[in-house]
Structure 1
């Protein structure tokens, strides 16, 4: 068994110290050594011992402190550690010996710490615990606790009960939680709350180990039967298995069927999304290592009747810290070996106690540094003064309290209370429909955080903050009350046994409801007709838009406004710079169309807006609605975080490989196929700047429809260059139509195909719609409008200059799309078929393809394990056959 004895100083630290002495002896002389003691539990009877998995966190903290020139610059922290073996006598002897050897502070011990803390108090040495819940130690002035004791969670429970006005509740707890239960009851009395019941049960694992009656399935049934008639809110303190057994008994009594009961559970361990189902389903319920996710109505109501107060989830950077802890566990002074199973290494789980250990060292060092600076303002630091400060446990712990709140390695801000106990950081979990995936387990729901508790200065109880985006799904959509409206015994309602009165009231109510229903149906039909006429489904109240500055512009991250300026659908239309705003909590893109005089929206345009609102497709930028004002119309569409396709093409930092290009092109094809088969018939202004890309790298076609409204908008001068550049995607026949005063506004399906061919070239070449020709956009437009003469080649982008050259079928499709004769251009289904080779058999977008690759990798690993298992069974069978042949038959 691994055990560390004696004092250690890393080889790297010795080398650095020696080099420092050689280089700058005057500075090295100012370094004073202080030895701290670490008392983990490596061996012994303690369940879930942490010493082997978290000790590296202390090494990380010491390394950072000793290399920090601003924190304890004149002090070098050394380490002495010993295994307590979860034995109070051994731990007490170690503390005595280490204090005599010059150790100035202790971190630990793990599990039990009251007696050890008193021994440290006898010499006024600071003791900082990372895992000990002995409540008696809270009264010691030299003791600090970074693990939040269970009693701290009761403050969050009280805040939760007060928030929902549950002033009457019952406390059920396992015997190991008796201190927490008593603390919760005291807090309830302070807040004028009523505790209906306080009942203790034997811990579940003890029941079954000792084969007691409480291990029987009917135990919880009788327990709930005795309390259910005088309570509605239960607070359970215990294990998750006890919680599930309790709620199963409540479900068998049909207590969740009407949504009248709630259960609040307290879990001191840190929330992990992968373990979120442990509050609903026992781990024993796995069948062949696969978890079965119930989907019955009864199970859903039971899950919705549960709220969990749990230690908040660490930040996303915490995983990097745990990996570092595993690495430092294998280095000196601990040198714990990695675990091996069947000739394969596997990583040990690093619990939240690693963060508590790391934070305890950092918080101690910060307090010590502050005291040293206070004491050395007018006189230099000496070794005697340093030891006097470092061994003053009362003062160091008081300074730690004064220095809180502190930023934990978990990413959260945590405060020490007046007894130097960490108040922790707790969240509330509730049942929500969401995607849960853990290996091969997939569920459509989970327990996720819906709120958290925020500590306020000089307030005993934290404030409960509910996430407005994640409202709690109450059973039957109504929050349960802590007491029936008539009381538990019907004592609050007058008794009336008159059946006649009941019948009269019921009849009157039925007639009233019938009349109200007839009137409601009549009003609804009229309202529906008015909606169809006035288009209220798509009209938006300007007051619902937040963050839009009216005539001012809110610039979006898109380069569209800088690169393409203002594009025009016709000679009299305009597009204002891309603007964004908030609408019903979501970011939307706003396009403003201005008019020189009051504009009445005709009925045909109203119908088109209603049509646009009903059009929904994965590859269409959804039309949300419009704000109609006398001199302008604001068009609201979904905002796409990746900007336009033009932005992506022009951004040289974004590498477009074949899979990426293929995904974008086929998304565009699918979007245009949908438009061409819809009542819109055509797009009319297709270009790369009118194609946007979502955060999942899915391309969506934007700015379609409303051609007449866009054409009548007030024109703003944007410059000749930008004006003609916006026309580079228009088909030649449409360019010639623009010169005709009586020409139609809009476009054609064949014009959309031409624009697609230009975009296809633009994506592959990444040099603009016509490449690096050096010709001005106006000259290009004039050459495009010029009628083709016999034998003359039409002006189009140069495909020979593409580097690397694309496949021949891509170039051929590109040239057919921009053919001079519109009738020779293929339709989009044909284009999709001709470019199908680019997808290489893949039918989904780039994000889904990447997920498929990861899934295939996981499946290959499973197949490898299965094959190795099969080979092992074959070897086992061969061995048995050999024994049968070698030994006499009566022996075998």
Structure 2
């Protein structure tokens, strides 16, 4: 059935609207009286025609009357319906505009409008519920209305898409929007901001200009405070058509020196109509010097009229007596032509739906608003196959001196983009706004703050070099400070020939007999004793015993002949070991690094190792003595394990006994020091691996690191040595290499038990 209240004349009109005539009535059709007219399609023209005096200058009733009159005479459009119109006045406030919209259901068959963007959502829903077409050029289009509302169509290209094409050409991404305080224009500004953000542009400022010069100043200050704003879009009536707010805004921008080429001002309302420019002077630019200077920073994007301007087309209609002769074309708002084109656009869609043999209703009309052309009021209008309106836009600019506008670029919303025509853009003081990175206009690229990728790369390289240089310098300074601390002062750990006096152990036996133990200070000795020690001095190559600050020390040399330096990791590891202080853990005093010798300096224990004590048959070891030694061993290892230190190579040879027969664990973390110093470790001999757990024998890498369970296994072997006072596995009559192979395969453990596994403490 047809959309809306279609008035009928005669029986045939009712059939034409509601259904196709049955075959039996063809006879009646052939002989039906010729004076019967087809069904009437009434177009409702929605807009703020009463509440806004500038919109009222568009003369919507005159435009609708002219469009309907020409449509009814056009044989390509009037075959199915007789068109009529009704002007519907909507309020400037969105809430009140909805009241007019709701009450318009029975007033028209389809609607052109609304003009207020705040009413677009309700209009789309109501049109879909009524199944009546809604053709509006003013909806901001932040989403696809055609997809949401099946009865919606757009008779003009989306304004934000046209504006985006201009911004993309000049690479102006950062936009500010200044709206008039009227609610209609506030809705326009917010809708435009959403549309541009959906397109990926950063709209940093959305502000409302309050009344008077102070309101303009405050709005412009907010624009100035924003970062990198290139374009200011003015959502208000154009000053060329009587917009007082835009005049105040531009004059104040001139006072604040914002029209010197730093910003570009674009009037938004000109995107909805064709502003005349051919042989059309604008007196307000000629009579107001400040406004003329400020307007040099304005680029006007408007619908192009390639053959005749709006005013010329208006005069032509007056000459054919289609329009009243008393109307002055210069006093008519160019939105007149947009209203005319929208009504004609709707009529074309109605006829396309009828010719497609479809029921003429809102959804079918919107669906067939495509693939046609029409002669608009002063320019051709077309709809492509996707239902998008196609018009040519143009960018107008002043020459900085006169009161006329000149064409500079033609604008197409598709891939054509902008094309240079006519005059060049006259930039104020020959200074154009800066440009933004092209990534803002690439939908496949996420733009990082609007910086060009090459600039990002250069900045990244520069920052990386600064960070790397700073880190290198800090590392160098830290190493120098650490080296100074380790070489001097109370934290000194690197010892040299100046700090140690090496003793020839073969000749020192006589002297050592006169000393109590390694802890005994030499300060109390006689002068003759000190002279005797000096006479025993030797080189570090042929001895491991030395005197440091009056105490005997032991040097455990690292393998290798020459060591270029002490690596930082070695110093770090040793600093951790130096903090280990326990009665049953041998104290590490530092590193000796001199004469090509690199060694660990620790306390010297005069009784030698536990292995030496066990093998010394002259030393009587009763059960009390044995238990004391084993308890010392357990205490020392317990302390190390609680400090998360793995020994890794525990055996009776690196359990030393001092002069008071106190056992101390030594050589802990020796493997870790070798790794830190990057020293290759020689493969241990079979007899040196008796204390190694079977699971470590199967994994050389794990054997180098050691485990807590492996240390417990080593303790058990030492306990067997002390209790039996014999070598490990003395009960097994086999060579050392054979015993190691058997334990690695899990055939026998301590006491011949098969598959022995070490246990955690």
Fold equivalence (TM over 0.5)? no
TM-score, normalising length from structure 2? 0.43
Q: Which has the larger radius of gyration?
A: 2
